[in-house]
Amino acid sequence: MADKNLKLCLLYDFYGNMLTEKQQECFELYYSEDLSLAEIAEHTGITRQGVRDSIKHAEAALLEMEEKLRITEKTQKLQEGLAEIVAMSREAERINRIDTPSLEMSGILRDIEKTARKLSEETL
């Protein structure tokens, strides 16, 4: 079984709904609750081997979905681009404040920043 790791948890955030209920339960207990296979077996009434298989299948399914859909890869690029837009709108506002600031410009730059932040939150 792969080490408990961040990448699988990120994939789970995106694709978890596509797994079976049993896979979701075992995956969450193992990765989010940090229970051992034996503890999950006791908790769910599945055999230890059954738990292990369920988690392995869930991991394989998550990796396969990312290979086919590449949502997390696209989302990461998107997040980087939106962060750049936030930084640029703040830099533009800094320039606007030099000499004679335009209130109208200020308002638009704030709206650009707000929109980029909102999109960033919604796509995570």
* Residues near a second copy, by CB under 8 A: 14-15, 17-18, 65, 68-69, 71, 74, 77-78, 81-82, 84-85, 88-89, 91-92, 95-96, 102, 104-105, 108-109, 111-112, 115-116, 118-119, 122-123
**Could you tell me the smallest distance in angstroms from the CB atom of residue 71 to a second copy?**
6
CB 18 within 8 A of CB 25: no
**Could you tell me the smallest distance in angstroms from the CB atom of residue 55 to a second copy?**
20
- Nearer CB in complex with a second copy: 43/117: 117
The DSSP secondary structure of the chain, one letter per residue, reads -PPP-HHHHHHHHHHGGGS-HHHHHHHIIIIIS---HHHHHHHHS--HHHHHHHHHHHHHHHHHHHHHH-HHHHHHHHHHHHHHHHHHHHHHHHHHHSSS--HHHHHHHHHHHHHHHHHHHHT-
**Degrees to nearest 5, angle at CA 85 with 106 and 79:** 140
- Nearer CB in complex with a second copy: 42/111: 111
**Could you tell me the smallest distance in angstroms from the CB atom of residue 59 to a second copy?**
17
**Could you tell me the smallest distance in angstroms from the CB atom of residue 99 to a second copy?**
8
- Nearer CB in complex with a second copy: 15/30: 15
